[in-house]
Structure 1
Amino acid sequence: MLRTAPRTLSVAVALVLLAITVGLALLTWQVNANSEQSLLRRQLAQIGTLLESEATILQVQLADMGLVAVATDADPEAFARIADMQVDATGQSLSLWRVTDGAADRLASQGTPPVLPEDGADSLAGLQPTGELVILGILSGEPDRLAYALMPADDSTNLLVYAEAPLPPDRRLTVPEDSPLSGLDLALYLGDTVDPEQLLQATENAPGDDDSEATTVPFGNTSLTIVGAAQVPLSGALSAALPWIVLGVGVVLALAGGTTVEYVSRRRVVAERLAAENERLYRQQRGIAGTLQHALLPVVPEMSGLDVAARYVAGVDELEVGGDWYDVIARGPGCCVFVVGDISGRGLPAATTMAALRFAVRAYVAEGHDIEVVMERLRDLLDIEADHQFATVLLGELDATAGRLRLVSAGHFAPVLVAGGTATLLECPVAPPVGVSAPRPVPATVVPVGGAATLLAFTDGAVERRQETIDTGLERLRAAAAATGSRPLEAMLDDLLAELSSEGNKDDTVLLGLRWS
């Protein structure tokens, strides 16, 4: 039998196709490596965003404690009430100090006793009233602690709030399997360098130098360095195995090289889209609430003849923005239109509806419409059947010069009027909420308000409690308003929040105060 040698062209085509296959395999490996590094950097950026948000939360918490201490003249009981919530939730050590003549004296303490840095209270005496979160370093102990403090941005005060947060045992961080951080080796350092002495916490397998990424984010007056490495392929096991798949398929089926490249490209696009979607959802939960809340909380105007102040306290679920809102629109000396409302539900739908209604009220008032007309036009903007939402709204027009208050309510509580040492819950007809069809418009209620007085509007978070009737909550608010009515308006609202705060309250709370003489 004659043996026929392979044709030169067949060998050449086979060699060319094999070379293309090898090249594609190498390209796939490089693309996957780049994708892994990109996904790792994205994960570290998400962690950095979370840590920056945590620093802001710590600063706000300490600032609130400082403001309460200033408003109550460093009353230990008032400090204890607001500090207990943080101590119970986090196991922190919280204390209130007064700095006098370069020395710091402790006035009150909650939680575990403070350890203090090596130079003791002297490290606190040098703080300045900037209102900025100051990180004082890591304290050795059982367990180790992170020390930080804040002095309210008020040159007239000499009070500061000092806190110590416990670090995990052996500074090791346990990551649950269902956590977005699962599959990562992480280490967190205080400062902008990787210093083992400044390690705050790390996973069981600390990241090494190979294939690791690092990023630095601001944290109070210092910064945090995050080092991370992937334990498993971030884009999935299939993406990691693609180079071998391409090589195997290319060797066996050289003619399918083009199809394999297309498959690899599609897998890469899918992996990047999944990473982008994961980042969007994560940032939405951790970051969008604070951005949207700025649209909810307008700056109250300074008005001739009226003193205006407002407070907003989010519920315990800080991952979603709420639907409570308020606004005050000046109409002249001693005259304004105010609104307080609450959108059903939480999250992005509630925030967008809230913004729409708030700016709609401003637009209708700017056009010169009366509050009854404004309320009826709001009903055209929301339909519970189509939007699956409704809103309770209280609209008021106050003319302190004429001594007249006009109110119209769509499912919302009437305000409290404080005058002459007494507090009265005003009465006005309540129409169905905005979004629910109403049989006919309800005329505004006119209330005479001659003489000096304070008007307090609020949302349901100030009065509703589990296993308690609403009448009990309204009476508690009325009594607290009567007891604090002689205080300055800002201090009055702070005292009311301290009195009305409830552990475990998941609803937002708005207090809007207007005072005239």
Structure 2
Amino acid sequence: MSISAVRKVTVGVAVLLLAITAGLTFLTWRVDEHSEQRLLARQLAQVGTLLTSQAAVLQVQLADMGQVAVNTGARPDTFARWAARQLQQTQQSLSLWRVTDGQVSQVAQQGLEARLPADGPAALGSLKADGSLNVLGILPGDPDRLAYALRPAEGAGDLVIYAESPLPKGHRLPVTSDSPLSGLDLALYLGPTADPEQLLESTAPVPIRGETQRTTVPFGTGQVTIVGASPTHLAGGLAAALPWIVLAVGVVLSLGAAAVVEYVSRRRAVAERLAVENERLYRQQRGIAGTLQHALLPPVPELEGVEVAARYVAGVDELDVGGDWFDVIEKGPGRCVFVVGDISGRGLPAATTMASLRFAVRAYLAEGHDIDVVLTKLRRLIDVDVDHQFATVLLGELDSGAGRLRLVSAGHFGPLLVADGQGRLLECPVSAPVGVGGPAASAAALELPAKGTLLAFTDGAVERRGEVIDTGLDRLRTAALDADGQPLPSLVDSLLDALSFEGQKDDTVILGLRWPG
């Protein structure tokens, strides 16, 4: 082969390898850009989840205030006590209003004086009585405030809970290094567009500069638009420099196949880093859901004459909050009312319904109603045809001093009694689940031994796919007998360890009550 031919082959191979290198460089740049956009979109989605969760918490808080106002006849002193909890750490304005024949009048005011929207109290009178969180807009002042209100349903449509929360000075939100917003330039706007007049708060000067993305999430009856950008490379400095690395390696190693090997190995490293980042984001989002769920559940109380222990475990494969719950209300020495329930479905609607039923039980008991009357009243709060949800509920009244237990159930398992080295499931009248319709059953009275342990639970503790329910109940009974004699918190933990299995998706609640005799 002549020198000219060799040169042509060499040039041809060099051109071909340089063309391949150029193509690989462009592909790397495109993959890196795509990864940046995906990571930024995930970050904005996480911020949206936080906002939606906050809206749900605000709705539950205002709904609770509305329920208390209804149950107490809208007494200003009662409203003031409930509102004081909200005002301990914030500079809010909270007020209670009544709508009568189209006229709106203030019943009670706590915190800062209310500014009200431009059309004044009339803005409150036009709200629908459906229990929704209504965002009324940004009120100018020093500082500006975000106004929102809730008009309860279920026969309380003449009352309105109104609140104003101050926005950060200059609408600039300070961000610490350990904040989930660290490393992002964000701006939050009220409404479906990024209107500068509707800016809620931002972590950087607006408009946000750079390669931005935006998303819109629901916030009560309104919307919040999130505009974000990252001033740094989310995938890391190596990913940012990777296109240039590939180009340099391709030029240097254009006479050999090592350039391809180098590119593949580096791309694999980038893919592994992206996988680690995705896993971290998954754990962080699941942690937010779990934190919200535990925030909605009550603390385990300390009762005189009755020891109480409770555990809640979320389904391992879910990111949404669930609807399982428990509560224990003291009625006197050695006496208490307990409730365990399970809302159908998952997510914020289930969590909101769960909180409403839990506080409704407390309100009805505070009014002096018996447990079977409480269950009857709960059946009026949700309707599966309207709300697309139903709930199973077990209510029990324990009097350890008298050795008596009263039970009533709406589609829920009866509790397990462990005493004298034996365990048995207690039978009680069972009616259809709450929200399905039909009358509630009457409470049954049962005699209790001088000392024992009562275990109430949700279906996540005993149900497994492809297995009859009796097998799961026997498994629970056996595990409880094996752990009998342990301190009550340890017994409940042992039950969870014995009943959990790989791939469990349903939430689990176990509530234990023990009387020493």
Range into which the TM-score falls when normalised by the shorter chain: 0.5 to 0.7
The verdict on how the C-alpha distance between 1:182 and 1:436 changes in structure 2, with shifts beyond 3 A counting, is farther
Tell me the residue number matched to 2:394. Answer: 327
- Name the SS of the counterpart of 1:89 in structure 2: coil
Matches of 1:239 and 1:396, distance apart in 2: 63
Task: Note if 1:298 corresponds to 2:332.
Answer: no
Matches of 1:401 and 1:27, distance apart in 2: 70
Tell me the residue number matched to 1:7. Answer: 7
Residue type matched to 2:324 in 1?
A
TM-score by length of 2: 0.62
CA contact (8 A) 1:190 1:198 kept: yes
Tell me the residue number matched to 1:49. Answer: 49
User: Can you list the C-alpha shifts for 1:455-493, whole angstroms capped at 9, x where unaligned?
Assistant: xxxxxxxxxxxxxxxxxxxxxxxxxxxxxxxxxxxxxxx
- Name the SS of the counterpart of 1:147 in structure 2: strand
1:207 CA drift (Å)? 5.0
CA contact (8 A) 2:95 2:109 kept: yes
Task: Note if 1:127 corresponds to 2:127.
Answer: yes
User: Can you list the C-alpha shifts for 1:330-366, whole angstroms capped at 9, x where unaligned?
Assistant: xxxxx97469xxxxxxxxxxxxxxxxxxx9x93xx5x
Tell me the residue number matched to 1:16. Answer: 16
User: Can you list the C-alpha shifts for 1:368-392, whole angstroms capped at 9, x where unaligned?
Assistant: x9844899559xxxxxxxxxxxxxx
Matches of 1:174 and 1:375, distance apart in 2: 59
Task: Note if 1:204 corresponds to 2:204.
Answer: yes
* Structure 1: runs of 5 or more not aligned: 312-324, 330-334, 340-358, 379-393, 414-432, 441-507, 513-517
CA contact (8 A) 2:173 2:203 kept: yes
- Name the SS of the counterpart of 1:7 in structure 2: helix
Residue type matched to 1:306 in 2?
D
Tell me the residue number matched to 2:446. Answer: 405
Task: Note if 1:185 corresponds to 2:185.
Answer: yes
Q: Which residues in structure 2 correspond to 1:309-328 (within 5 Å)?
A: 309=375, 327-328=394-395
Tell me the residue number matched to 2:145. Answer: 145
Tell me the residue number matched to 1:267. Answer: 269
CA contact (8 A) 1:396 1:407 kept: no
Matches of 2:324 and 2:90, distance apart in 1: 30
Matches of 1:63 and 1:130, distance apart in 2: 10
- Name the SS of the counterpart of 2:173 in structure 1: coil
Matches of 1:143 and 1:243, distance apart in 2: 47
Matches of 1:152 and 1:375, distance apart in 2: 50
1:275 CA drift (Å)? 3.2
The verdict on how the C-alpha distance between 1:435 and 1:371 changes in structure 2, with shifts beyond 3 A counting, is closer
Tell me the residue number matched to 1:438. Answer: 484
CA RMSD of aligned residues (A): 4.1
1:40 CA drift (Å)? 0.8
Matches of 1:26 and 1:94, distance apart in 2: 57
Matches of 1:67 and 1:117, distance apart in 2: 24
1:402 CA drift (Å)? 10
Tell me the residue number matched to 1:72. Answer: 72
CA contact (8 A) 2:36 2:235 kept: yes
Tell me the residue number matched to 1:89. Answer: 89
- Name the SS of the counterpart of 2:108 in structure 1: strand
Matches of 1:176 and 1:73, distance apart in 2: 44
1:305 CA drift (Å)? 9.9
Matches of 2:420 and 2:116, distance apart in 1: 57
User: Can you list the C-alpha shifts for 1:388-438, whole angstroms capped at 9, x where unaligned?
Assistant: xxxxxx97969998984333675679xxxxxxxxxxxxxxxxxxx958843
Residue type matched to 1:27 in 2?
L
Matches of 1:49 and 1:128, distance apart in 2: 26
Tell me the residue number matched to 1:257. Answer: 259
The verdict on how the C-alpha distance between 1:155 and 1:403 changes in structure 2, with shifts beyond 3 A counting, is closer
| Identity over aligned pairs, percent | 44
TM-score by length of 1: 0.62
1:192 CA drift (Å)? 0.4
- Name the SS of the counterpart of 1:33 in structure 2: helix
The verdict on how the C-alpha distance between 1:402 and 1:212 changes in structure 2, with shifts beyond 3 A counting, is closer
Tell me the residue number matched to 1:277. Answer: 279
- Name the SS of the counterpart of 2:11 in structure 1: helix
Q: Which residues in structure 2 correspond to 1:78-117 (within 5 Å)?
A: 78-117=78-117
- Name the SS of the counterpart of 2:163 in structure 1: strand
